[in-house]
A and B are shown apart, each in its own frame.
Chain A
């Protein structure tokens, strides 16, 4: 079998100028139930290998599955939040194939009768050329439930991956964990925004799932896994192109880069007069490219049939409605509500989103700050600090409560803006809470007249010519004297009060 020579890539802007991309995403979510999908083994991490197993999840001869009711409830929750229809009657099915991490050599999944169908998720793409956020409706094909596989360590090779390994070691602790699969319909019409739209979808889905409390959705840990499908067709073509499926996409950034690279790569393939191969590709984190997986001779024949060891699932309508009534405020609704409460424009909201500051600002407001203040701090001082240290805003060592406290202190006059910045600095440096930093650094505003008078007198005495000007009516000259007093008090004087004292002393009050 000859491997075609790689035609390279077409630069992205060129590719999207001539081709229309179509994307699709399949996302697997590990549910955070207490126990596994079909048995009572604990659903948790960190156990010794093969210590969280039983005859059922090991697939021992004679074992039988029993459905975890919570997993069904969580899945219905997800379906409702995605505006899906919940099946009134459906079944599990066996997906048959041999693989050592699957103890029964079939996976109990759902085939032509998924629990949830139809639906949509509206996502906003913020990172647009003109800065105007764009809304994209991603339609959902289906949401279904299945069981996860065990995990293998591939030994003896140089990369730890399957290719080149001598043998493998299998741990079944994660075998049987409930997994929800969310499949989108193909998303068209996003053009150059396709990579960003894919990323925005995964981010929004992740937020949604976290809000629903059904999973801890950590991409780095694998509780949220994405496969991205990408195809391109010449602009105006009647048919879609052949799609590739990219796996190993383990972060939001990877989602975006994978789509981008596939568009570039497929454009080059088509430009070279070749055909895009329908295949599974592997995203390479280090290079931001995708590589061909093992070529499959033919599509797998999974020989699906309804699972005979389980009886059908027919969620009663009142149960579904009860689940619906308990749905929390979803992220999109929450954002709309906050935008209205804070009186912000779409662009303002985009800025918050791009900085990753939305939740931080919301929490700061809850802790007592005004929206304007909260935004000022998070998008200003703190965004700068994050940038400087190369960290994410949310991982800065300062809490929304801290920021709210600083805001309150400024509002009550205990701190000036300038002092407040020093307090923030102190908290970031690990010196303690805002109040602790104030105390330690002695940053309280000095507004005691007696203390200030001394400094005022000294300043006047030190600059008699300036004082003379002020006596003569040039009130503006007071600035120099204020500056001197501020310097003498290490910036802790209440500048406005200082000015009043000076003017009063020099007869201009």
Chain B
């Protein structure tokens, strides 16, 4: 019974609980049992709130990425500098979930301050991919993806700054969504890159993702950048699953060298599938997409170097070196040196450099101009088509440790996801099969115009339905990384 409960989708669980077939406490217990069984191998969680979860068990169970403030649990952002920090306020996303009756099972692991594509940058050790425990679950919200893909929880919440929800979703065989920028509130989301960060759902099905998307979205007066517009009808779209007549654009720049052949193969098949379902497919060049990665790696570190300045050991968190003789400046420097990992330091330094007087115009200033060019590429594209598609990430999950010392190689994982963060439009990753070389999941990325989030769900639902039907079941049923005779 336990095994079956953890295999249900959030939508199914919700319905079952509504029907009275199972209680929320039973669901919570089932997941906590699963966590206890596999967590030492997955290392997806930083904090499991067992008692609290049981106490609060209600309609839908959920696991949330440790970057949202919660008054009843520590929030560390995967970093030593915030080890043990207990926020005195809840993020808006947290509040909305509580209001929706969601049970939080715990806070999951992540790349430190959301910087990374593998969760290897967590100060607390990497999480592992349920498909193959020697491989990364993607990043930065790898813990969330691992937990959901490992059936430790039916849902998770992450934030997507450069692909941090979509890429882990792709390599773990999940659905991952980055809503339109401003669609969900960032109040209480520990900021990495303010103009790029956006909360969103990793989930096992398109409908589950849509349900969560709706629950956490909407205008928030506490966030000046949150959009004051109705939430797009994502749940209705997730149930629609019909793409006949839809115009779909393939982006040639998001393909080619550096892309794993198996990934490209599954991607092409997905495109053909969409055509067979009635969509019209054309190629739509986006000539500036090739500059998205460098622009991103100037803008994001710049904003983050400023956002992370507050972590100085003066008001909360780690304080190192205060022996009564040192100055505040020295204590700040020692604290930050000890509390931040190498990737974070790298990006802080890069950001400080890009913003320095004398360099601003050449780096940050020009990166913001590239951003305009990319937005214009999207606008022009969306005049010809309703959605754009690409692989979500160039390769399947790589082995833990393979790219850890090569930042540039690590950054390449975000090649396809970054343009949507820069332009702010909605984007989603849905599984489209396993790569033949390694049997690991491949993600199809669907991108829609700003505030047209429902379109990505519509297309994703169609793909999911068709592929599930072909397979005879959900993709995740094939994930055997955790099978050692243990449920």
Closest chain B residue to A54, Cβ basis: B89
Which of B167-175, B312-320, B373-381 contacts its partner? B312-320
B65 within 8 A of A: no
Question: Which A residues are closer than 8 A to B by beta carbons?
Answer: 55, 58-67, 94, 96, 98, 100, 103-106, 166, 168, 170, 301, 303-305, 308-311
- CB distance A308 to B309 under 8 Å? no
What CA separation (Å) do A305 and B75 show in the bound complex? Answer: 28
- CB distance A309 to B310 under 8 Å? no
Residues of B near A65 (CB, < 8 A) are 224
- CB distance A305 to B69 under 8 Å? no
A60-B316 contact given A303-B355, A308-B195, A309-B224, CB 8 Å threshold? yes
Chain B proximity of A221: nearest CB distance (Å): 26
- Known: A64-B186, A303-B306; 13 extra A-B contacts, CB below 8 A, are A60-B69, A61-B69, A61-B77, A62-B68, A62-B89, A62-B189, A62-B191, A64-B224, A65-B224, A67-B224, A104-B310, A305-B302, A309-B224
- CB distance B306 to A305 under 8 Å? yes
Residues of B near A94 (CB, < 8 A) are 306
A59-B310 contact given A303-B352, A303-B355, A303-B357, CB 8 Å threshold? yes
Chain A proximity of B69: nearest CB distance (Å): 5
B340 within 8 A of A: no
Q: Bin the interface of chain B by size.
A: 35 or more
What CA separation (Å) do A442 and B303 show in the bound complex? Answer: 79
- CB distance A311 to B69 under 8 Å? no
Residues of A near B409 (CB, < 8 A) are none
B356 within 8 A of A: yes
Residues of B near A309 (CB, < 8 A) are 191, 194, 224-225
- CB distance A305 to B364 under 8 Å? yes
Chain A proximity of B1: nearest CB distance (Å): 39
- CB distance B302 to A61 under 8 Å? no
Chain A proximity of B31: nearest CB distance (Å): 26
- CB distance A98 to B77 under 8 Å? no
Residues of A near B72 (CB, < 8 A) are none
Chain B proximity of A174: nearest CB distance (Å): 16
Residue in A58, A64, A305 whose beta carbon sits within 8 Å of that of B223 in the complex: A64
What CA separation (Å) do A98 and B356 show in the bound complex? Answer: 15
A55-B224 contact given A61-B69, A106-B306, CB 8 Å threshold? no
- CB distance B310 to A105 under 8 Å? yes
Residues of B near A96 (CB, < 8 A) are 306, 309, 355
Closest chain A residue to B196, Cβ basis: A308
- CB distance B355 to A98 under 8 Å? no
What CA separation (Å) do A365 and B334 show in the bound complex? Answer: 67
Chain A proximity of B53: nearest CB distance (Å): 22
Residues of B near A58 (CB, < 8 A) are 315
Closest chain A residue to B299, Cβ basis: A308
Residue in B190, B193, B312, B360 whose beta carbon sits within 8 Å of that of A62 in the complex: B190
Residues of B near A98 (CB, < 8 A) are 309, 312, 329, 332
Chain A proximity of B67: nearest CB distance (Å): 8
Chain A proximity of B112: nearest CB distance (Å): 13
What CA separation (Å) do A364 and B100 show in the bound complex? Answer: 66
Closest chain A residue to B316, Cβ basis: A60
- CB distance A103 to B315 under 8 Å? yes
What CA separation (Å) do A98 and B348 show in the bound complex? Answer: 14
What CA separation (Å) do A224 and B352 show in the bound complex? Answer: 33
Residues of A near B189 (CB, < 8 A) are 62
Interface positions of B from 291 to 342, Cβ below 8 Å from A? 302-303, 306, 309-312, 314-316, 324, 328-329, 332
List 14 contacting pairs A-B, 8 Å CB cutoff, sorted by A: A61-B191, A62-B188, A62-B189, A62-B190, A66-B222, A66-B224, A96-B309, A98-B312, A106-B309, A301-B356, A303-B306, A305-B303, A308-B195, A309-B194
B87 within 8 A of A: yes
What CA separation (Å) do A166 and B325 show in the bound complex? Answer: 8
B267 within 8 A of A: no
- CB distance A64 to B88 under 8 Å? no
Residues of A near B356 (CB, < 8 A) are 301, 303
- CB distance B360 to A305 under 8 Å? yes
